[in-house]
Each structure stands twice: as C-alpha cells, then as structure tokens.
Structure 1
Amino acid sequence: MASEATKDAGSVSKSGQRRKSPNTYVILFVVICAIAVLTWFVPGGAYDLDDAGQAIAGTYHVVEANPQGIWDVFLAPIIGMVGSETTSAAISISLTIMFFGSFLEMMDNTGAISVALKGITAKNASNAHLLITILVAVMAFFGTVEGAYEEGIVYFMMFVPAILSLGLDTVVAIMIVVIGTQVGCLASTVNPFSVGVASGIAGISSGDGLLLRALLLVTLVALASLIICRYADRVQRNPELSVQYFRRDEDIREFGGDAQGAGELDHCQKVSLGLFIAVFAIMVLAFIPWTSISESWTFFSDFLGFLAGVPVLGMVLGQDITPFGSWYFNELSMLVLVATIAIGFVMGYDIDRIVDIVMKGAAGLVPTAFVVPMARGIQVVMDAGGITPTILHLGETTLAALPPVVFVIVSLAFYFVLACFIPSSTGMAAATMAIMASLARFAGVNPSLMVTIMCMALGMAKMVTPASVVVMTCTSAAHMSYADWVRRILPILGIFFVTCCVFLVVGVFVG
C-alpha cells in the first residue's frame, strides 16, 4: 500500500501502453533552476523577525542579492536533506515516510486489510446504500490517515464484483474508490505525507486545524455517499443511463457477478488490524496540541511525570518521553517502526523476514522520501539568493492584501491549478508551504488554514487531473474514457469546492 505518486505514475492499458504523468523530480529540478535564474534579476530583500523567527509584516527592506550558479543548484537538494543555518533538515520527514512504507508493507503481508475489506463488501452486498456508504467511509479513512492513492486500483478490483451484482455499473466502483480516497485526502487529519510535511514546514503542530478538517471529513463522507447513492439509484432504475451500459455484459464476464469467498480474519490478522488502527489513534492523540487548546489540559505531561518518578519503572521506560501533544517526526518514526516490528511478531514472522519487509517497504517509498529534500532545495536556493523576502513582499502587497475571506478562496483556486500538474502532497508542501504559510500570516489567517487549503486542493485535483494515478488506473481498468469521467466528476467537484469554501470562511472567523 503506497501513498503519494512521486515517480513516473500512470496507468497500464490493455495494449501495454503507459500513460505518464509529469515526473515530479524533473518538475522540481526545473523549478530550482528557474529560481536560480531569478536570483540574477530579482533584487534581494529581508524582513525583521520576531522572537519566533517569523517575518514581521511591513518591515521589508532591500539588501544585496546573491545570484545562484550551477554549483548552488546541484548542492541545494543536499542541503535540503541535511539542513543549514537557514533551512531545517528534511531527513526527519524523509525517514518517517520510509518507515511508514515499512508499516504499510507489513500490513500488506498480513493480508488483514484485504480480507477485512472483502468481508465488509460480501456481508453488505444486498444493500446498495449501506454498502456504498461503508466503502466510501473506509476509503476516506485510508485517505485521511495515510493518503491512499496509488493503491486505488486494488480496491476497485475488490469492489467491482459486488457492485455489478447489485445491478450497478463500474462507474459506481470508480466513484467509491476515487471520490472516497480523495475526500479523505481532501480532509486529511493525521496524514504524515500531507499534513505532517506541510505543518512541519509551516512551523506549526500537525494537530493545528485538526478539528476543522475532522468536521470537513464527516461532512464530505456523508455528501459523497449521498451523491454516489443517487447515481446508483438512477442506474438501477434505468441501466441505459449509464455511460458504460454498452459493455454491461462484457463487464459482468470480465469482473464476475459476486463477491463471495472473502474469507475470515484469523486471530493474528485481527490483532494486526487492531494494532494498525491503534497506531493512527495514537497519532491523533499525539499530534493534537492539547495545551494550545487549553492550558489546563496537562494530563499527558503530568502522567509521564508520574511515571518518571516511579522507582525502577521510570528508569526502564526512560526519563525523556515526549508527552502526547508535543510529538513530531522523530516520535512518529519510532511509533511506526515499533508497530511494524510488533505486527511482524504477532504474525509469527522470524526476524529475518521482518527485517526484509521493513527494508522492502522503506525502499518502496524512497522516491517519495527524496521528494522532500529535492523540493526543499527550492527554498534553499531562494534563501541563499536572498529573494524569498522579496517574493513574500510581492505577495504581501497583492495576495496577502486581500481580505482574509477572499484570500483563502483565491489560495484554494491557486493550489487547485498547481495540484493538477503536481499531484504530490510531499512535493507540493515542500515547494510552496514556506511561502504560503508566511503569506497567510501577513493576511491575518492562521497558517493551519493554509495547510488545510493545500490538502483540499490536492484532494479535489486528484479526482480529475490526468496526472492522477487513481483516476487513470481505475478508468482504464473499467474501460471508461477519461472524457466521460471528467463529465461525471466536474459537477461533483463544484459541490465539493463550494463546501470547502464554506468551511474556509468559517475557519477564518473561528481561527
């Protein structure tokens, strides 16, 4: 199970041809080069900084620029990984991403998630509305906690037999997978690939803005379920209304008409699935900034203080345990790695197999992990060239000068267009969040709202852009033309966009 597309992503058609989306590394390197060129022409600048190191609006002044050359361009991603005096290291983020790959690889090996999903599908196959709602909720869960994306085609193949057996079409299965997973991504709660990376760059906790995104998630899951159920009802009543009606018989022959044989979870798989869910529950508790919400919410730090004072036990557990509410990437990496090893032992794997799975899973997400320092190289070149404050000043006098409500809506539209070409949350966050978070501060908007805006735009873009792996693989497998999918999804995207705008306006006034 993988999360974000950072490699040459696309779909393999029946003829074996591969549709390629823009290579993220090439795009980022071109951007680094373009920024380096800009340092030769854009004047340098600087802001006065507050105690937290954030730029103070209205204090911009011109300084001498430092044009960047070829050496600087190729060195930038390296500095992005190891860090410098002005740029924080990306290594902790990259390490978390790779360990997360190990965690997901271990769950793939257990087969627990696959069996659980097939069981849900088989047990609810007689009730179309209930089945659709459950599957959308499950897809959204995977999207919101780990950015489910590339693996969407696997879910499609699991669901489509049951969907066809109910007299529905393959479009319903595509909608469940694409809309379901991307609604989850749109309202990412603890997804380390989007919220985690973006929040780290913005200098805020991953828990900031969590409540708003959680409410958005519940709203959009209900809305998506309603939309898909209404479409399913129309197809059941009038099958000829389906754009895929012309190949109804072929679809039944190809995908089958039932979803039986799902199997049952054995004891080890049940425990593994429980640990899988527990990891995300811990992530939620650990990243919510409890003391920021209320200074009196000190239970976790008080409890750790109590444990540290217990003779022997305190020494065995450790004296420097980080309390929930203060976790960051280092703690998350440890949690995921420990959970991965624990699940391996629960399944009865020997240590050699566990290590092999950890290495294989980590290797599978190395491309994603390398996006972060590559994209952070953009920030390195901008900072070294002295043009970051100048660009911020331009935004301060234009975009950030807009009223906060207009600012968040324009930012959402801007991010949506950008995400259609770069549907990678890690790359998007690393390339843009440093600037956009600062612009949000200048506009009087909470930076956590900018993280939410980025997630919203990515989730919506990956429902429609041809660079979206989940769209292209699922439509190709269902033999549905991309143009037909666009016609189906665009009105739905309009509804989602309006809903997001409403939540953003609320976020402006609340936050």
Structure 2
Amino acid sequence: MENVEKKKEKKKFKSPNTYVIIFGVLLIVAILTWFIPGGKYELDEAGRAIAGTYTRVDANRQGLWDVIMAPIIGMVGNEQVSGAITISLNVMLFGSFLEMMDTTGAINIALKGVARKYQKNYFVLITVLTFIMGIFGTVQGAYEEGFVYLLMFLPIILALGLDTIVALMIVIFGTQAGNAASIVNPFSTGIASGIAGISPGEGIIYRTIVFFVLMGLVSLMICRYAAHIQKHPEKSVQYFRHEKDIEEFAGGEEEIGELDKKQSKVFMLFVLTFAIMIVSLIPWTSLNPNWTFFESATKWLTNAPIIGTILGSSLVPFGSWYFNEINGLLIIMTFLVGKIMGYSVDKIINILIKGAAALVSTAFIVPLARGIQVIMTDGNITATVLNATESTIGSLPPVIFIIVCFLVYIIMAMFIPSSTGLAAATMSIMAPLTIFAGLEESSMILVYNFALGFVKLFAPTSIIVMTCTQAVHVDYGSWIKATWKYLAYFFLACVAFLVIYVLI
C-alpha cells in the first residue's frame, strides 16, 4: 500500500522552480537569436527608433556564455539596458524594514485588529484593498514593490479564513488593473504619449472610465474566489500548507493584545512611511504644471544657509523620487523604529541584515528577468521583431487592427515587461500604424497599457508575479491553475474596451 502511495506521489506534477522557468525563457530567447535575422532602426536624439528606417545587420547569435552573463548585466546594466540593482536593493531593504516591524509586533497586533473588524464583511475589505492597489498602479505604476503590500495584507487575509491566493490576487490583479488603465501613470502613459507625439491628456476620459469599470470587475472576481474558498477551503491550491501559512505570515492563532505606547508610535511611523512613499512618487507637476509646491520647498531648503548645508544640496523633491530615494527612506525608518523601541545599534543592524537576507532569493529574480531583455538587445532581434509588426498589420480594418495590435503587444510585453523599455522600443513604430488604420495615436497607448497590465498578471517575466509568488511559497503552476479563469475574463474585458474605443 505504501509503495502505491509513493508511486502516486512520484507521478504528481510539480511546477519547476521560479529560477528554472526564467532561465528556460533565457535559453529560448538565446536560441531565437540563431534563427531570427539581425536588424536595427535609426535612432533619434533621445535614442528612440525611427519608423521606416529598419535595416538588416549581421546576426549576433547568443551562446551559453551570453546566457550566463545576461542576468549579471541585468543586475548592473549596460549602455542599452538599465541595471536592476536598485530594485533588488529595494527588495532587500523592504525586507529589513518589515523584519523590524515584525520584531516590534506592532503590525501583527494592528492588522489582526482590522481582521476582526471585517470578519463579517470581508467583501468590503477586499474591494477597498483592491481599489487602493489600483490607485497605486494608475498613478505611479506600482509593480516591483507589490510584494511589500502582499506581506502587509497577508495576516488580514489569512485571519479571515482565506488563502494566500486571495492576497496575491488583491496585489497582482489590483495593481495591474490600475496599470492597464494608467490614467496618469508617468512611467507608461506619460512616456508612451511623449514618444507618440501626443499629450498624455488624449484619451484620459476613456481611461478613467476603464479604470473604474475594470477595478470593479477585478474586485468582483476576487470576492467570488474568496467566497468559494471560504466555503470550500479544501479546493484551494494552497490548502496543503494552510496551517504553515498562518504560522509564518499571521503569527499562528495566538491571542492578540493591545498596542502599548511604543508600539503605537511604531505603527504611526509605519503608516507615515507609506504615506511619504505615496506622496513622493506621485508626479505632481505632470498632473498639473502649477503644482510646484514640493519643488519650491526643496529649492528653499537647499538654498537656506544653515539648513541647506546640513541637509546637503542633492535633495530630491517629492514627485521625483524613485528607488534610490525610497531605499534611503527605508534605512532611516528602520533605524527610527529600532530607536523608538529602545533597541541597541547592534540589534538594529542585526535585524536589518536578517530582513535583507530573508529576501535575497526574491531580489535575485529581478536581474534574472531583466536578462531576457539583455539577450534580445545584444542578439539584435528586437528591431527585427518590430519590423515584422510594422510591415504586416498597418493596413488592417480598424477593429481587426486594434485586436491584432493587442495580441502583438502581449507577445512583445512577454519579453520586455518594462513599461518604459517597451514604450521606448516600440511606440515610435507602433503609434504611426494607427493612422493607416484610420485611428488616433491614443488608441495605441490604450493597447500598450492593456497588454502590459495583462501580461504582468501571469508571465514568467513579470517581476510582480515571480517575486510575490516566491515570497509566499506559491509555485508558478499553482498560480496559473488558480487564476486562469480570471485571466481569461481580464483578457476579454480588455478586448471589449478596445473594440468599444474603436467604434465610438
């Protein structure tokens, strides 16, 4: 009998490790460089491809050494591809900050209190959290930092009797639905519109409508899944480790107390940290050229005789922060929390190192995924793929054209999941195609955003999928198995939005 059970266990399919999947994609892309001809476009002063200037160049076949070096270059960067080191450092420093918060116990106590409050109304909780994630996505392109929100929401979700998939869906579907709409996202809509030669305001009313409808749809899907899992917990793909998840992410089932004075201050600092992040990442002057308060305040501080000398001359105003500034904020806040709790410097540093070490495996996924872009760029196949698109779909009828472009962008986004990278590499070529189809350039911005938002829900090149699933011990195959139906709904919704945009 035992032998039969062992045979069954051997036959059971196990999804490959995250690193194996991404490295496999790297190998496939490298093999493609042996068969796809090399090509290039002439570039303008900003380094963007100029439509109609494609020429063949010698192929640059990528070998095993190139595959091995790609993730390393993906980490440090080169002239063509920006390095992922600041993102990886951001992952580890978030780990340090969260480890400090976990050590204080303040977050667990506060979040479990919230969980108790919403035990009988978790639909509202899921909807609110999903819309918050969507706002982050549509305003500042929330993507790589998704795992931070995930680790913050997990204790609440698990305490409600739900599984880790619900938390993953809130973060991944929430942020990427927001990114798909990208009402004012400067890293996608802003850059892509600039390359296309149009104002980011073109199509903004339709994108706003899309945001609310799409977020409502995503919230409904997550609530339906949550209701199903709460009623039938054994049907969750993660049911086999439910108790382990509760113990690891929700601190088990122990009774919770009240926040003491120090923990209350720590929790306020925790909220302040995220408030600063949000305010600092929102592109205020992009939303309104007259909103220059933070720039003026920063200039005043740096020019002040005494304060400016103490603070330094390289202050970055809120609205212009990126990973470097956020990393500095996390270090400061980690030490402040430690000092409020009365920890020694040695203990604070040990906690910082411990938290960073816990997320090293997650941090290494980022440059590995970036390595795919390195292989395509060094292999000279990116321009060839774009030229094939330019010469085949430019004369199709409007509705067919928009759907085909969506499918094409999905394929390209699989290999270039970076919003800025994909826009820089494609928009100057793809946007002019809309004129041949009798459409406005803003329709291609919509296609581009939808494709990126959709691909980042499931692709093995999606940093948010790979880092979040890795962080909560959900293998890639299980994520696809649990969400494939909702991915199909999301895809159909995007197609419907595109067709409606063409028809109106």
Normalising by structure 2, we get a TM-score of 0.69
Is the contact made by 2:18 and 2:470 (CA closer than 8 Å) also made in structure 1?
A: no
The yes-or-no answer on 1:429 pairing with 2:435 is no
Instruction: Indicate how the Cα distance of structure 1 residues 72 and 157 shifts in structure 2: closer, same or farther if over 3 A, else same.
Output: closer
CA RMSD of aligned residues (A): 5.1
The yes-or-no answer on 1:134 pairing with 2:125 is yes
Corresponding residue for residue 313 of structure 2: 319
What is the rounded CA distance, in whole Å, between the counterparts of 2:33 and 2:165 in structure 1?
45
Offset, 1:314: 1.1
What is the rounded CA distance, in whole Å, between the counterparts of 1:231 and 1:314 in structure 2?
53
The yes-or-no answer on 1:184 pairing with 2:174 is yes
Is the contact made by 1:466 and 1:472 (CA closer than 8 Å) also made in structure 2?
A: no
Identity %: 40
Counterpart of 2:390, as a letter, is E
Offset, 1:411: 5.9
The yes-or-no answer on 1:381 pairing with 2:380 is no
Instruction: Indicate how the Cα distance of structure 1 residues 490 and 297 shifts in structure 2: closer, same or farther if over 3 A, else same.
Output: same
Instruction: Indicate how the Cα distance of structure 1 residues 233 and 154 shifts in structure 2: closer, same or farther if over 3 A, else same.
Output: closer
What is the rounded CA distance, in whole Å, between the counterparts of 1:374 and 1:466 in structure 2?
11
Instruction: Indicate how the Cα distance of structure 1 residues 70 and 231 shifts in structure 2: closer, same or farther if over 3 A, else same.
Output: closer
Offset, 1:286: 2.1
The yes-or-no answer on 1:283 pairing with 2:277 is yes
Is the contact made by 2:38 and 2:59 (CA closer than 8 Å) also made in structure 1?
A: yes
Counterpart of 1:439, as a letter, is T
Offset, 1:60: 0.7
Corresponding residue for residue 159 of structure 2: 158
Corresponding residue for residue 147 of structure 1: 146
The yes-or-no answer on 1:328 pairing with 2:322 is yes
| Aligned pair partner of 1:406 in 384, 403, 419 | 403
Offset, 1:99: 1.3
SS of match in other structure, 1:429: coil
What is the rounded CA distance, in whole Å, between the counterparts of 1:388 and 1:358 in structure 2?
40
Counterpart of 2:123, as a letter, is I
| Structural mapping, 1:76-225, within 5 Å | 76-125=70-119, 128=120, 130-138=121-129, 141=132, 146-148=145-147, 154-160=155-161, 177=167, 179-187=169-177
Offset, 1:335: 1.6
Runs (5+) with no aligned partner, structure 2: 1-8, 137-141, 180-184, 195-199, 236-242, 247-252, 432-441
Corresponding residue for residue 357 of structure 2: 363
Is the contact made by 1:156 and 1:474 (CA closer than 8 Å) also made in structure 2?
A: no
Corresponding residue for residue 250 of structure 2: none
| Aligned pair partner of 1:264 in 233, 255, 258 | 258
CA deviations over 1:219-263 (Å, ceiling 9, x no partner): 666556666778999999xxxxx55699xxxxxxx99xxx99443
What is the rounded CA distance, in whole Å, between the counterparts of 1:24 and 1:174 in structure 2?
17
Runs (5+) with no aligned partner, structure 1: 1-14, 161-169, 190-194, 237-241, 247-253, 419-426, 476-481
CA deviations over 1:113-166 (Å, ceiling 9, x no partner): 3222221232344xx3x3431255347657966424875765444112xxxxxx
Offset, 1:382: 2.5
Counterpart of 1:133, as a letter, is V
The yes-or-no answer on 1:37 pairing with 2:37 is no
Corresponding residue for residue 389 of structure 2: 395
Instruction: Indicate how the Cα distance of structure 1 residues 200 and 384 shifts in structure 2: closer, same or farther if over 3 A, else same.
Output: farther
CA deviations over 1:53-104 (Å, ceiling 9, x no partner): 1111221111122223333232222222222222322222221222122222
Instruction: Indicate how the Cα distance of structure 1 residues 372 and 509 shifts in structure 2: closer, same or farther if over 3 A, else same.
Output: farther
Instruction: Indicate how the Cα distance of structure 1 residues 387 and 336 shifts in structure 2: closer, same or farther if over 3 A, else same.
Output: same
What is the rounded CA distance, in whole Å, between the counterparts of 2:98 and 2:491 in structure 1?
31
What is the rounded CA distance, in whole Å, between the counterparts of 1:197 and 1:294 in structure 2?
16
Normalising by structure 1, we get a TM-score of 0.68
What is the rounded CA distance, in whole Å, between the counterparts of 2:420 and 2:408 in structure 1?
12
Corresponding residue for residue 442 of structure 1: 429
Offset, 1:48: 0.9
Is the contact made by 2:446 and 2:498 (CA closer than 8 Å) also made in structure 1?
A: no
What is the rounded CA distance, in whole Å, between the counterparts of 1:99 and 1:263 in structure 2?
28
Is the contact made by 1:178 and 1:470 (CA closer than 8 Å) also made in structure 2?
A: no
Is the contact made by 1:44 and 1:63 (CA closer than 8 Å) also made in structure 2?
A: yes
What is the rounded CA distance, in whole Å, between the counterparts of 1:448 and 1:78 in structure 2?
33
Counterpart of 1:323, as a letter, is P
What is the rounded CA distance, in whole Å, between the counterparts of 1:466 and 1:90 in structure 2?
15
Counterpart of 1:429, as a letter, is P
